[in-house]
Amino acid sequence: MLSYILHPLQPFQSIAHRGASFYAPENTMAAFQKAVDLGFDFIEFDVRLSKDGHLVVIHDADVQRTTDGMGYIRDLTVQEIKMLDAGSWYSSEYTNERIPLLEEVLKQFGGKIGLLIEMKSSENQPQLTKLLSDTLIKYIDNGIKPSTLKVQSFNINEIKKFHELTPTISSGILLEKPLNILHFQTYSQFASFLSVNHHLLSKSIIHQAKQYGFDIFSWTIKKQYQFQMMQRLGVNGVISDEEYQETNGTLLT
Ligand code: G3P
Ligand code: CA
């Protein structure tokens, strides 16, 4: 196991970006199952609120790119969302794929693979944060281990709220702009990890982040050399997609 050779004492997590989105349409049950089959530790996926107040799994605010429909998720009911074909844009093999509900993912994959859930920003963000917290607590009460769940967002205020509502689940901040270490002290009060655009990482930044107790995950890793560079820097895991997923199974299992 390559990660073991490079960092024998440090657990390293392989995270499939939007599921195994190189092999199957992103953020679908097929992509999540493929990630399980490939031996990933976690799947990363995005959640948004439908018009009728359900958490649905989709990256974009609107359905145009990844389905045969049009419109914003916030303007569509679950009944309307479930009529959409979320697989044909990728390949005719996946014509029957639908946009999953968060609860469907929790039922099917909770406990089988780790779930890294990204709260996407929206006008109804406060409701989303509270509903996500309530939903995850319900599934923890039903037996899913908190250690198999992580929640992240670019929205720092909402991550703070999520942590206050759900301190047993690891929460993290997504960062895509140069890191300001002066914020680390504040972030460490409600976040246990930082998910960082890999271009922004250096040994020094990682060292300082670890002084505050953060785990560091880097995204989005597309090539094997990027993966190896991240391991040398000492990150705790990588969120990967595209060509890199071709070799992920052989490198990490
Ligand atoms: O987990 C990192 C990554 O998912 C953040 O970017 O746009 O793919 O949600 P995006
Ligand atoms: Ca995401």
Distance 18 CA to ligand 2 centre (A): 7
What's at 46, amino acid-wise? D
Could you read off the pLDDT of 156-202 as tens digits, one per residue? 999 999 999 999 999 999 999 998 999 999 999 999 999 999 999 99
Q: Give the pLDDT score at 251.
A: 46
| Catalytic residue check, 7 | no
As a whole number of angstroms, the distance between CA 154 and CA 130 comes to: 17
Q: Is 213 exposed, middle or buried (0-12, 13-18, 19+ CB in 10 A)?
A: exposed
* Residues lying with their CB under 5 A of ligand 2, a single-atom ion: 46, 118
> What ipTM was estimated for this complex?
0.98
| Catalytic residue check, 17 | yes
Distance 45 CA to ligand 2 centre (A): 5
> Considering the entire predicted model, what is its pTM?
0.94
Distance 200 CA to ligand 1 centre (A): 15
Ligand 1 contacts CB of residue 23 (under 6 A): no
Q: Give the pLDDT score at 242.
A: 76
Testing ligand 1's pocket by substitution, the residue of 58, 118, 193, 201 carrying the most ligand atoms inside 8 A of its CB is 118
Could you read off the pLDDT of 205-222 as tens digits, one per residue? 999 999 999 999 999 999
Ligand nearest to the CA of 46: 2
Domain boundaries, the chain: 2-252
- What is the SS3 assignment for the chain? CHHHHHCCCCCCEEEEECCCCCCCCCCCHHHHHHHHHHCCCEEEEEEEECCCCCEEECCCCECCCCCCCCCEHHHCCHHHHHCCCCCCCCCHHHCCCCCCEHHHHHHHHECCEEEEEEECCCCCHHHHHHHHHHHHHHHHHCCCCHHHEEEEECCHHHHHHHHHHCCCCEEEEEECCCCCHHHHHHHCCCCCEEEEEHHHCCHHHHHHHHHCCCEEEEEEECCHHHHHHHHHHCCCEEEECHHHHHHHHHHHC
Q: How confident is the model at residue 248 (pLDDT cuts 50, 70, 90)?
A: low
Q: Assign domain 2-252 to a CATH class.
A: alpha beta
Could you read off the pLDDT of 91-135 as tens digits, one per residue? 999 999 999 999 999 999 999 999 999 999 776 778 999 999 999
